[in-house]
Structure 1
Amino acid sequence: MLLTLGIIVGLVGVYYVFMNVYPIFGRKPSRDEMKKFAKSPQYGLDKFENPVPAMMNMSFSTTLGILRDMIKGSPNRRPATSLAMDKPQFIGNGDTSVTWFGHSASLLMIDGKSLLLDPMFGRTPSPFPWLGKNRYSNGIPFEIAELPHIDAVILSHDHYDHLDYGSIMKLKDKVNRFIVPLGVSGHLIRWGVPAAKIEEHDWWEEFTYQGLELACTPANHFSGRSVNDRGATLWCSWVIKGKQSNIYFSGDSGYTPHFKHIGDKYGPFDLTLMECGQYDERWADIHLMPEETVQAHLDVKGKVMLPIHWGAFTLAMHDWNDPVTRAVRAAQEKGVEIVTPRIGQTITLRGSDIGNYTKTDWWVQA
């Protein structure tokens, strides 16, 4: 019994040391920070919560079904070959432009400002990035050193497929400001980002940054980077409004009335970057199904929709190109203008019209 107890205590000790020494996990909020978070309407019982409860069906039979689907796999859950990439354009011409890098990582140029949205540029979304398969494109279409100086990095939440330690370490000296939801600053500070360069926001907070009008808006999702920090930090979507364009970035979310509330308050939007991928009926409360992606775009009063959160990693059981195929079909059925750029392709928004964009179903040939 003493030996068993000693082994258990030793394992707990190793786990505690590892969690506190290994930087990729980030940092949980302190007690003082949690007291500040308690002022947020989204905070309760020592964690952030969704107004609409987000449930994952994790019954025994459902869990067995997920395991069966994962083991069974599918020949089309990854592309047969590495996805081709375009060389992005980092010098703007004054118009609003967006460059999608796969999954949710994008560069938004608006009113002469450069904003990186959820810049996950790593090989795999994991606390152990040397494990697992590389992203579908086998890299990104540029070296981080090639990026212009970034006015702001805007983060939606702290999951590994959105907040990447390796990417932040390479980016942090090129960025003026990190704009994040409540609690996420702790990760960045642990990774060497000065606190003075970070600002945190709660849902429905409005503020300006270098002439841009921004609002931190709701999403129905969750957060966490380890086994005991679910809900320790907030998740969100973002409204980014300049003189020329009004942009909506959905982050990750299930479908709830919050999209209509955002549209009523801040719409219409010239362009929406809407989550579309890594979905399953068993976790539909926290990720949009492709048809819901199109409906959410309509709810926020979007004009042109760019589907994101696909094209880089296999995080669900569907075919890798199923999200865009279904989203395009749903958009056509509802008369929604949808743009599907290749990875690295820079598209320009002139007013509410896409300028230099050629529509192709490139994912069919990939």
Structure 2
Amino acid sequence: MVLSIVIIIVVIAVIAVLFIQFSPQFGGKASEEAIATYKTSKNYKDGLFKNTNDVKLDMSLKDMGKALSGFFKSSPNTKPEHDLPTSTLDSLSIINYTGETRLVWFGHSTFLLQTEGKIILIDPMLGSVPAPHPALGSKRFSETLPITIEKLPKIDAVIISHDHYDHLDYESIKALKDKVEHFFTPLGVGAHLQKWKVSKTKITELDWWQETTFKNLKLACTPAQHFSGRGLIDRAKTLWSSWVIQTESDNIFFSGDSGYANHFKTIGEKYGPFDFAMIECGQYNKMWPEIHMFPEETVQAGIDLNAKNIMPIHWGAFKLAMHTWTDPLERFITESEKLKVNYTIPIIGEFVHLKIKKQNNETGFWFRKY
């Protein structure tokens, strides 16, 4: 009996190692040449990228057990009772658009941004499960996407915040790569893209506070308080970030994933005020307060950034924490109303025009029906 159990454990371990070793989902490793450049970064030490503040990334065994048990037990209202509504996009309406800056949300942290005749995708996770294998993740809340990858037109740029599965998806990149002119990532993430057959010449990696221009757009890679990793032994081997996107008429902020810290105020002082800020507001827990924000902190981050309008993101697609799926929105709305902060909560697939200061309540509270 004991021998049988040992054999089963060994077989499972071997299968896991082989899966991690040979599955393309786990991405690539930085070259020695790339690592040499990382060593010049203030955010890189002893082979790992670091947060500015002293952030604890390792849970105790007790907390780890609590976290894992939360995903496997049936907690009430962590997912909507029905598929979330999705507005459908037409590829021609995207191609032929020549108006002011607008964006459309795909759920979670994925956006299509149109500005000055350019099409930009942000954290294009368009798969159904944020995991290296379908059996290891929670299925998307909506059955369909606003538009399929196949119907998307040519993409000028893809901006990626970090390499976690709910932000960087292998299948999505594989399907998109030939449509995309250029990829912009924090340091290290380019190794994954190269592993997935994206040409090195199409990738620009930036450190925090570095800037670049692309077709009259100014892009700035800015700090976030989070971590990275796609496997068991690659934590913090790539950098994580937020992004600033500036056009001649608009100033946009995208938070990526981040705990609340003083970097929001620093970014606001350097690049603000912002016309529109997409800020994470979901997948939080008291066991990991430094790497994901609570909704009240999302609102404060928007104030720190000096944002005229903020949109809560990182919700509405996947169960990655144990709170109810509407808790982020209810708490966010309450705090926003209390502090008189303008906000937007669009339906998935609905275009948001940056010049609108606040969406009406009937549309903004759509999630309460589900």
Structures share fold, TM-score greater than 0.5 = yes
TM-score by length of 1: 0.92
Deviations 1:285-314 (A, max 9, x none): 000111000000110110001111000000
Q: CA deviation at 1:8?
A: 10
**Is it true that 1:288 corresponds to 2:297 in the alignment?**
no
Q: Deviations over 1:184-220 (max 9, x none)?
A: 1111111111111111000000111100111100000
Q: Contact 1:304–1:337 (CA<8 Å) still a contact in 2? A: yes
Matched, 1:305 2:310: yes
| TM-score for the superposition, normalised by structure 2 | 0.91
Q: Which stretch shows the higher mean deviation, 355-364 or 229-238?
A: 355-364
Instruction: Verify: 1:150 aligned to 2:142, yes or no.
Output: no
In structure 1, the partner of 2:3 is none
1:174 alignment partner in structure 2: 179
Counterpart residue identity of residue 136, structure 1: F
Cα shift at 1:133: 3.9
Query: What is the root-mean-square deviation in Å for CA atoms of aligned residues?
Result: 2.5
5 Å matches for 1:104-183? 104-129=109-134, 131-183=136-188
Say if 1:132 and 1:265 are closer, same or farther in 2 by CA, change over 3 A.
closer
Q: Does 1:361 align with 2:365?
A: yes
Shift of 1:357: 9.9
What corresponds to 2:348 in structure 1?
343
User: Contact 2:138/2:319 (CA < 8 Å) preserved in 1?
Assistant: no
Kindly indicate whether the alpha-carbon contact (under 8 Å) linking 2:342 and 2:358 is maintained by their aligned counterparts in 1: no
Match of 1:215 in 2: 220
- Write out aligned runs for 1:1-366 (5 A): 17-56=18-57, 58-88=59-89, 90=94, 91-129=96-134, 131-350=136-355, 353=357, 359-366=363-370
Any stretches of 5+ residues in structure 2 without a counterpart?
A: 1-6
User: Does the C-alpha gap of structure 1 residues 136 and 14 become closer, same or farther in structure 2, counting only changes over 3 Å?
Assistant: closer
Deviations 1:67-94 (A, max 9, x none): 4434443220000011111123524332
| CA distance, structure 2, for counterparts of residue 185 and residue 87 of structure 1 | 31
**Larger displacement relative to structure 2 (279-288 or 69-78):** 69-78
What's the secondary structure of 1:145's corresponding residue?
helix
Give the conservation status (yes or no) of the 8 Å contact 1:224–1:230. Answer: yes
Aligned residues between the structures:
362
CA shift at 1:17, angstroms?
A: 4.9
Residues in 2 aligned to 1:10 and 1:348: alpha-carbon distance in whole angstroms = 54
Task: Indicate how the Cα distance of structure 1 residues 57 and 234 shifts in structure 2: closer, same or farther if over 3 A, else same.
Answer: closer
In structure 2, how many angstroms separate the alpha carbons of the residues matched to 1:180 and 1:353?
A: 30
Q: CA deviation at 1:53?
A: 2.1
1:3 paired residue number: none
- Give the secondary structure class of the aligned counterpart of 1:293: helix
Gaps in structure 1 of 5+ consecutive residues: 1-5
| Alpha carbons of structure 1 residues 64 and 15: separation in structure 2 relative to 1, 3 Å | closer
SS in 2 for 1:347: strand
Matched-pair identity in %: 47
Taking the aligned partners of 1:337 and 1:353, their CA distance within structure 2 comes to: 6
Q: Offset at 1:58?
A: 2.3
1:42–1:329 Cα change, 3 Å: same
Q: Which amino acid aligns with 1:328?
A: I
Query: By how many angstroms is 1:268 displaced?
Result: 0.2
Aligned equivalents of 1:9, 1:67: Cα separation in 2: 22
Q: Distance in 2 between matches of 1:199 and 1:357?
A: 40
Contact 1:56 1:282 in 2 (8 A): no
1-structure distance, mates of 2:187, 2:157: 17
Output the CA distance in 2 between the equivalents of 1:178 and 1:100: 19
Q: Using the alignment, how far apart are the partners of 2:275 and 2:218 within structure 1? A: 15
Q: Secondary structure at the match of 2:257?
A: coil
Is the Cα–Cα contact under 8 Å of residues 57 and 282 in structure 1 kept in the other structure? no
